[in-house]
Amino acid sequence: MFQTVALSGSRGERQLFSDISVTVKPGTLLAVVGENGSGKTSFLRMLCGLLSPDGGAILWQGKDIRQLKELYYAQLTYVGHLNGIKDELTPVENLKVSACLAGDESSNGIVQQALEAVGLGRPVQRLPSRVLSQGQKRRVALARLWLSTRPLWLLDEPFAALDTAATNYLTHRLQSHLSQGGMVVVATHQEIALPPDCIQHLRLTR
Amino acid sequence: MSQPSMSEALRGVVRRDLLLAMRHRSDVAMSVFFVVIVASLFPLGVGPEPAVLRTIASGVLWVTALLACLLSLGRLFTADYLDGVLEQTLLIPQPLAVLVVGKVFAHWVISGLPVVLLSPLLGLQFGLSGDSLGVLTLSLLLGTPTLSMIGAIGAALTLGLRGSGLLVALLVLPLFIPVLIFGAGAVSNSLAGIGSEANLSLLGACFLLSLAFAPWATAVALRIALD
């Protein structure tokens, strides 16, 4: 179980949110919604441990993530606002490297299957990532989810720049992860086509 | 659930950075050309007098190595910071200091090792004897990793700041001074026929000290930069 307790955060002088207490149970998705600048990305980065909260705590299985550190990182997969891929490397190389560093299966076959699952065929897989479109780069970043066996996924605007087909691939992947008892926190502006009983919403306001 | 071992994570970071360097061969070549050109300018400017060249050799070659390291520090974390790879690196379930060692090692292989390998050739331009060339190479082999270690702290502290290139120079150049003194001193002592073991030992000590503290300090600075 994943919880925030009276979490508050700010950027510079501006208070972004305060006193946020939410619980994400296995098999549920927390959709963080709100206007641009309402603090969704900061909230997500805080849940990763990349940003320090002003107050409150983030608990993983009842323990503060600041104490768990690497043990907590081993439980999560984060796809941020930035894709986290290298333009000089091919999609296969990018995914192999990130899977290897995450401790996931990183054989050529598995990586190619993951890229095919997000709709990137073999010819595209061999191109340098710098020649890919924004949507294709986003697909490469999201292909990590097809390799991840970690229970907690933190996704920042995962549907941004995706076409309908890729949105459907991702929605199915999220559904499959939730059905296996996984937890997902998504910062998004879009409605997610998942059964309402497995989605809870958190609205951040400016 | 999967988790990389420490050595797997370390190897992964090194392999990625070396692969990127292979794709950016021009950057590596530029560092090498910089060293060759700067070191070659001095004999042209000072004149062909062998005694003068031998006197300035250690200082010139060490300052050149130091500047080459400084020039390449911008590449250490900036690209990773801008494309989001640094965020992902911070979330690898292994101590960040260990991953920093991997990045610094790759940086040294790309920017420091070519200088070490070229140094006998560069030393010949200054009329260094065989023994002194050996000492020069050994001193650079011990000293350049320390420069990369110290430089990483500065690169991490100035990450994301405007004008970080100049700032990193102001931050790390004073910290390079002991390495420069011991490194250049080792070659000078060798030329003077005095043993250079003491200077080389001090360079070794500097390296061990930097290996113990710099990755930890760099890791803290990186977390602050992304906070």
Structure ipTM? 0.91
* Contact between chains at A101 and B227 (C-beta distance less than 8 A): no
Tokens of A149: 């066996």
- Alpha carbon distance B95, B216 (integer Å): 9
Question: Which single residue is written with the structure tokens 């690209």?
Answer: B79
Spatial contact of B60 and B126, defined as CB atoms under 8 Å apart: yes
Q: Which long-range contacts (CB under 8 A, 24 or more apart) does B95-99 make?
A: B95/A70, B95/B6, B95/B219, B96/B219, B96/B222, B96/B223, B97/B215, B97/B216, B97/B218, B97/B219, B98/B6, B98/B9, B98/B10, B98/B215, B99/B9, B99/B10, B99/B13, B99/B219
Spatial contact of A60 and A72, defined as CB atoms under 8 Å apart: yes
Question: Which single residue is written with the structure tokens 């710099």?
Answer: B214
**Whether the predicted pLDDT of A35 surpasses 80:** yes
| B77 Cβ contact partners less than 8 Å away, ≥ 6 residues apart | B86, B103, B152, B155, B156, B159, B222
C-alpha closest to that of B13 among B204, B222, B225: B222
* Contact between chains at B85 and A86 (C-beta distance less than 8 A): yes
| B189 Cβ contact partners less than 8 Å away, ≥ 6 residues apart | B135, B195, B196, B198, B199
Q: How many other CB atoms are found less than 10 A from the CB of residue A14? A: 10
- Average of per-residue pLDDT across A31-55: 91
A52 three-state secondary structure: coil
Residues of B in contact with A78 (CB under 8 A): 87-88, 91
Q: What angle do CA A105, A110, A113 make, to 5 degrees?
A: 145
Region of A140 (left: φ > 0; alpha: ψ -120 to 50; beta: rest) is alpha
Residue A36 CA, chain-centre distance (Å), reads: 18
Whole-number pLDDT of residue B1:
59
Spatial contact of A7 and A58, defined as CB atoms under 8 Å apart: yes
Task: Report H helices in chain A.
Answer: 40-48, 65-68, 70-73, 91-102, 108-117, 122-125, 134-142, 144-147, 164-179
- Dmax over CA atoms of chain B, in Å, equals 67
Whole-number pLDDT of residue A192:
85
Spatial contact of A205 and A34, defined as CB atoms under 8 Å apart: yes
* Contact between chains at B93 and A74 (C-beta distance less than 8 A): yes
Whole-number pLDDT of residue B2:
67
Percent of chain A with pLDDT over 70: 100
Measured between CB atoms, does A101 come within 8 Å of chain B? Answer: yes
In this prediction, residue A102 has a pLDDT band, given cuts at 50, 70 and 90, of confident
- Residues of chain B with pLDDT below 70 are 1-2
A29 three-state secondary structure: strand
- Alpha carbon distance A144, B27 (integer Å): 30
Tens digits of residue pLDDT in A21-34? 999 999 999 999 98
3-state secondary structure chain B: CCCCCHHHHHHHHHHHHHHHHHHCHHHHHHHHHHHHHHHHHHHHHHCCCHHHHHHHHHHHHHHHHHHHHHHHCHHHHHHHHHHCHHHHHHCCCCCHHHHHHHHHHHHHHHHHHHHHHHHHHHHHHCCCCHHHHHHHHHHHHHHHHHHHHHHHHHHHHCCCCCCHHHHHHHHHHHHHHHHHHHHHHHHHHHHCCCCCHHHHHHHHHHHHHHHHHHHHHHHHHHHHHHC
Spatial contact of A45 and A14, defined as CB atoms under 8 Å apart: no
Tens digits of residue pLDDT in A146-205? 999 999 999 999 998 888 999 999 999 999 999 999 999 999 988 888 888 899 999 988
Of A84, A85, A89, the CB nearest to B19: A89
Indicate yes or no: pTM above 0.95.
no
- Alpha carbon distance B146, B144 (integer Å): 5
Whole-number pLDDT of residue A121:
86
**What chain B residue is nearest to A147 in terms of C-alpha separation?**
B2
- Alpha carbon distance B19, A48 (integer Å): 28
- Interface of chain B toward chain A, CB-CB under 8 angstroms: 1-5, 8-9, 12-13, 15-16, 19-20, 23-24, 79, 82-85, 87-95, 226-227
Residues of A in contact with B83 (CB under 8 A): 82-87
Tokens of B196: 């250079």
